Amino acid sequence: MPDHSSPRPSLSVVIPMYKEEENVAPMLAAVHAGLRDYGGPWELVCVDDGSPDATGARLLAAAQDYGSHVHVIRFARNQGQTPAMQAGIDAARGALIATLDGDLQNDPGDIPRMVDELRARDLDLLQGRRAHRQDAMISRKLPSRIANKLIAKVTGVALHDYGCSLKVYRADIIKRVRLYGEMHRFIPVWAAMVTAPSRIGETDVKHRAREFGESKYGISRTFRVILDLLTVFFFLRYRKRPGHFFGSIGLIFGALGSLAMAWLLFAKFVMGENIGDRPLFLTAILLLVFAIQFLTTGVVAEMLVRLFDQHRERPAVIAELPASTATCLPADGWKLDAPAVQPVPDSARVG
């Protein structure tokens, strides 16, 4: 079990923001207030997702005011929340990574408690659960509930609030996950591909009503979740054996086409009927062609998986974060409020 008398591990807080110019100042103030007594080195990575307003400029100004531990990444154009979150995770240097939205609905003050809970429960990912969600029922709560039930049913990863962006991860786990499209809501599912589902937990967190700006989500996202869920389902069930997925479809088409062709051959040579103008004849040919296409696609997919497996990274190793992680980092670019934490030269950096 972790030694909680030791300094907390180094932490990177990642916040993607899009058209949140009014939330920049209060968000950064809330992060610094929430982590004032963190007891270990931490940094803040803010990603401006190509905002057309003053979000990027205000982030840069705030970074100069607060110091070098505040890092700003700016996209030239809007890419979406998932690429923004991925960019922040890629830039993060901490042993632990926390993510939250930039709309001030998540409370950064929950992060230190979540770090302690993740270590105490020996988890790789701790998902926040908005116990008293302050959002509109029809446009926000209802789509979220539908999406959460669909995701839990299809994936088998039983969480109650996939949509909450407030999460804490072990960096060596989340950095093995690559996020694409709008897959940020499926992060626990993707993480379950590189670690045991039993090492993914959730905890109640505070939630506040949005004060500034407009929500970027609505009921239409339920339909996008359904489409993304099909991709997740395929990767969960057939990532290691795509040939079984395509091959099963090919075998079904092949069996139907073969039965239809056998009947036509019987009608032609036994019953003496003309089969050249029958729709069933063309249908049987198409089914056999589809069968060949799916079977060959399955073979190609299996070959690609084998090539990928030969070059992928080593499997994740379950290990407690060493107590020294928090004290073996250079001071530059980190917020060091705890007097017990002493910076050391770059030559002593771990990993």
55-66 and 24-34 helices cross at what angle (nearest 10)? 40
Q: How far apart are CA 85 and CA 70, in angstroms?
A: 16
Q: How far apart are CA 130 and CA 127, in angstroms?
A: 10
Q: How far apart are CA 228 and CA 222, in angstroms?
A: 10
Q: How far apart are CA 135 and CA 216, in angstroms?
A: 13
CATH architecture for segment(s) 11-238+315-348: Alpha-Beta Complex (3.90)
pLDDT at 314: 47
Q: Tens of pLDDT along 258-315?
A: 999 999 999 988 888 888 888 999 999 999 999 999 999 988 888 887 776 555 554 4
pTM over 0.85: no
Quick one: DSSP state of residue 109?
Answer: G
Q: Where are the alpha helices (DSSP H) in 47-110?
A: 55-66, 81-91
Q: How far apart are CA 35 and CA 109, in angstroms?
A: 7
Q: Where are the alpha helices (DSSP H) in the chain?
A: 24-34, 55-66, 81-91, 111-120, 142-155, 171-174, 187-191, 221-238, 242-269, 279-311
The distance of Cα 345 from the centroid of its chain, to the nearest Å, equals: 34
pLDDT at 341: 43
Q: Judge residue 61's burial from the number of C-beta atoms within 10 Å of its C-beta, 0-12 exposed, 13-18 middle, 19 or more buried.
A: middle
Residue 335 has pLDDT above 60, yes or no: yes
Transcribe 133-191 into DSSP letters: --S-IIIIIHHHHHHHHHHHHHH----S-TT---EEEEHHHHTT----TTGGGGHHHHH
pLDDT at 127: 93
pLDDT at 207: 78
Q: Tens of pLDDT along 16-38?
A: 999 899 999 999 999 999 999 89
3-state DSSP assignment of residue 317:
coil
Residue 327 has pLDDT above 90, yes or no: no
pLDDT at 321: 46
Domain ranges of the chain: 11-238+315-348, 242-311
- For residues 344 and 287, the model is more confident at 287
Which helix (H) or strand (E) is 130 found in, with range? strand 125-130
Please give the average per-residue pLDDT across 69-80, as a whole number. 91
Please give the average per-residue pLDDT across 205-214, as a whole number. 70
Quick one: pLDDT band at residue 196, thresholds 50, 70, 90? Answer: confident
- For residues 343 and 234, the model is more confident at 234
pLDDT at 345: 43
Residue 336: phi and psi, rounded to 5, are: -120, 90
Q: How far apart are CA 350 and CA 273, in angstroms?
A: 80
pLDDT at 346: 45
Give the least confident one: 84-98, 263-277, 334-348: 334-348
CB atoms within 10 A of CB 77: 8
pLDDT at 231: 73
Give the least confident one: 62-76, 85-99, 114-128, 292-306: 292-306
Give the CA distances from residue 290 to residues 56, 253, 256, 257, in Å, rounded to whole numbers and listed in that order. 51, 7, 11, 9
Quick one: pLDDT band at residue 168, thresholds 50, 70, 90? Answer: very high
* 260's tokens: 């239809």
Q: Tens of pLDDT along 116-149?
A: 999 999 999 999 988 765 555 555 555 666 666 6
Quick one: pLDDT band at residue 255, thresholds 50, 70, 90? Answer: very high
Mean pLDDT of the chain: 80
Angle at CA 303, nearest 5°, toward 302 and 305? 65
Q: What percent of the chain has pLDDT over 90?
A: 44
